[in-house]
Amino acid sequence: TQLLEQSPQFLSIQEGENLTVYCNSSSVFSSLQWYRQEPGEGPVLLVTVVTGGEVKKLKRLTFQFGDARKDSSLHITAAQPGDTGLYLCAGDRAGGTSYGKLTFGQGTILTVHP
């Protein structure tokens, strides 16, 4: 069973549309990160959220951490073809030293058509 459930797995939209990707768990996380990965490359960190209820904005991307620190969402406004890629959420479990043992969701493949 996946500790972090990410949905949807695939998203195909037109340029200009809005979208939301969800990352849910029954476990509490000390922090949650969102990465973006392009074909042939490693994931690149977009943002880290650490406080329950926290909202962070990165241009047209809005990230939210749930109040109970068990879930997170990524919202993209007016998507552009350059947003196309694989989006991954990753969390480190609460309690004790994390030691970087990230748990990843399955990923969301986003395709934005011109």
Partner 1 sequence: NAGVTQTPKFQVLKTGQSMTLQCAQDMNHEYMSWYRQDPGMGLRLIHYSVGAGITDQGEVPNGYNVSRSTTEDFPLRLLSAAPSQTSVYFCASSYYVLSTEAFFGQGTRLTVV
Per CB under 8 A, does 100 bind partner 1?
A: yes
Q: Which of 49, 88, 110, 112 binds partner 1 (CB under 8 A)?
A: 88
Residues between 17 and 36 with contacts to partner 1, criterion CB under 8 A: 30-31, 33
Contact window for partner 1 (CB under 8 A) among 11-19, 65-73, 74-82, 85-93? 85-93
Question: Least distance to partner 1 from the beta carbon of 19, Å?
Answer: 19
Q: What is the DSSP secondary-structure string of 66-86? A: -TTSSEEEEEESS--GGG-EE
Q: Which of 20, 26, 45, 81 binds partner 1 (CB under 8 A)?
A: 45
Nearest to partner 1 of 26, 77 (CB atom) = 26
Question: Least distance to partner 1 from the beta carbon of 1, Å?
Answer: 12
Nearest to partner 1 of 71, 92 (CB atom) = 92
Nearest to partner 1 of 45, 68 (CB atom) = 45
User: Three-state SS string across the chain, please?
Assistant: CCCCEEECCEEEEECCCCEEEEEECCCCEEEEEEEEECCCCCCEEEEEECCCCCEEEECCEEEEECCCCCEEEEEECCCCHHHCEEEEEEEEECCCCCCCCCEECCCEEEEEEC
